[in-house]
Chain A
């Protein structure tokens, strides 16, 4: 459980975190979203007490982080910036951390296995690839078997297998009743793993919600169906809360209000061949961008220069 109360952080006259107020609950994965420079990493550093808040407070499992007798057992964190000495091996890095708490060597071996670092554990960490460095950071986060796990953009630099592994890991940790707090830029990634969502922009809280209600507000999930007989399928699918759109004569329909599973079942029952059935998450990313649009700090100008012609939102800065 992480409780953040009216948290403010200023660097000079730059306000990185502006009156944040939310709680991260145990038993579920909470996604922490915001565009670049929104203040996600700063908030996470304050949770660990690495940066001192300008005002406000943050507690973990009821106490300030530094007040815990065994901090690594309360919160395991992966930070954004690398936090290792490149000259030390992964094993020795983890061992040095473990020794501060009296964590046995057995546990060091366990997290090395768990994160798939077995083969490179004795190599200098400076020679690690981005993905391996990330795995080492996650190994360090799991070392104390912590009640709360906090990861700053964990999928950064991971290969698809690694991304999948992280998703499963996070879900398992939450199922065990732990508090899991994960930052990301990608709404679509969070929609797959997170249950709760905290969205910030320019250091301010934009939304403290759940993925389900965010999706609902964003206009619900839609599913793209390509089938042999879209006209008949359309008749079969239509119902009170269901909308189906699609051009006449086209094989493609966009359905909202039904899950891909229900649509596939209906089509199978009616003997209609389905060529493609894919849930559309694009609307989520768009809803996220609409929500944080005015708060984006570092907007690329590529859109207006190239032929994509994507409409530029107004920049408040």
Chain B
């Protein structure tokens, strides 16, 4: 029946018994998963993030020198900090991955095909969030563990050495995976909000890296009040999630996670609003 487009002649009308196709949320997720798998750029970005995460972590442990006053190990108080220092760079690659997932559809025009297939629209955003959160949390958590375990032999016997069973280590490593997955989702939300890859990436960099710097030029009394509530790592909510020891003036890991989630939810709400309201 569905093969009759060329063959049929004459009067027989559209097939009376049509296959019962139907859009379901599960199918939209499958579609987004297939889209994710079929683009080389997503694989490359993901691989780059994984390599950064593991490579920089292990390299930091290898080059660790407790006497250094400058350089990468100067302020390293523990093995987890060394292993997760790479989060700073990996978050950019994974945030960009998120931006590409959504804004990339607008810049290529694919969004019109996507929304013609799923005109209710919101399932598309939800499915993308699910797929990218799922992929990134697996890759980033694995990366955090590999980074820590790969660096362990080099730090063995030194004062800052830790093992997986040391208190708080598992929380930090899982926290890093969760943080990075949330950043990918934040990127996806920002990409859908601004519909431009360049715009999405800029916004992400501003939120994660420039705002903390910007705070330095504001009246100094503002910084302690604002800084812990920024999403990023440097003194922000993300830093609280992955740090082994809570620094003074920062949030607890749980509170940090709540603040980061709030950022992501607000960005997603904006993205959903724009998705539903604006022409595509």
Contact = CB atoms under 8 A, between A and B. Distances in A.
B10 to A, nearest CB: 7
A102 B112 CA distance: 19
A110 B3 contact: yes
A6 interface: no
A66 B120 contact: yes
A97 B114 CA distance: 7
B169 interface: no
Nearest to B105: A85
Nearest to B14: A177
Contacts of B11: 175
A69 B19 CA distance: 13
A176 interface: yes
Contacts of B105: 85
A50 B112 contact: yes
Interface string A215-244: 000000000000000000000000000000
B119 A49 contact: yes
B30 interface: yes
Interface of B is mostly: loop
A100 B28 contact: yes
A82 interface: yes
A140 interface: yes
B117 A100 contact: yes
A146 B111 CA distance: 20
Contact of B38 (A89, A114, A144): A89
Report which residue of A49, A79, A81 has the largest number of chain B beta carbons within 10 angstroms of its beta carbon: A49
Contacts of A147: 14
A66 B4 contact: no
A103 B20 CA distance: 9
Given A50-B115, A100-B118, A176-B14, A95 B39 contact: no
Report which residue of B18, B35, B110, B116 has the largest number of chain A beta carbons within 10 angstroms of its beta carbon: B116
B2 interface: yes
B34 A169 contact: no
A100 B31 contact: yes
A86 to B, nearest CB: 6
B220 interface: no
Contact of A99 (B15, B19, B34, B112): B34
Interface string B1-38: 11111101111111100111111100110111011001
A140 B113 contact: yes
B5 A172 contact: yes
A110 B9 contact: no
Given A85-B105, A85-B110, A145-B18, A100 B23 contact: yes
Nearest to B31: A99
B21 A70 contact: yes
B6 A69 contact: no
B202 interface: no
Interface in A41-57: 45, 48-52
B108 A84 contact: yes
A97 B3 CA distance: 18
A45 to B, nearest CB: 8
A151 interface: no
Nearest to A178: B14
A299 interface: no
Nearest to B112: A83
Given A70-B22, A85-B105, A145-B2, A100 B110 contact: no
B70 interface: no
B279 interface: yes
Nearest to B42: A87
B22 A102 contact: yes
Contacts of A52: 279
Contacts of B115: 48-50
A101 interface: yes
Contacts of B8: 172, 175-176
B168 interface: no
B31 A84 contact: no
B29 to A, nearest CB: 9
Contact of A84 (B6, B34, B109): B109
Contacts of A87: 39-41
Interface in B71-124: 104-105, 108-113, 115-120
A72 B27 contact: no
Interface string B215-245: 0000000000000000000000000000000
B92 to A, nearest CB: 21
Interface string A141-185: 010110100000000000000000000010011011110000000
Interface of B: 1-6, 8-15, 18-24, 27-28, 30-32, 34-35, 38-41, 104-105, 108-113, 115-120, 279-280
22 contacts: A50-B279, A51-B279, A66-B119, A69-B22, A71-B23, A72-B117, A77-B116, A82-B108, A84-B109, A87-B40, A92-B34, A92-B38, A93-B113, A95-B34, A96-B32, A96-B34, A97-B31, A99-B31, A100-B118, A145-B18, A175-B10, A175-B11
Given A82-B108, A92-B34, A96-B34, 11 more contacts: A48-B119, A70-B22, A88-B35, A95-B34, A100-B117, A101-B22, A110-B2, A147-B14, A169-B6, A176-B12, A176-B14
10 closest A-B pairs by beta carbon, nearest first, are A177-B13, A66-B119, A92-B38, A99-B31, A83-B112, A70-B21, A51-B279, A101-B21, A83-B113, A145-B2
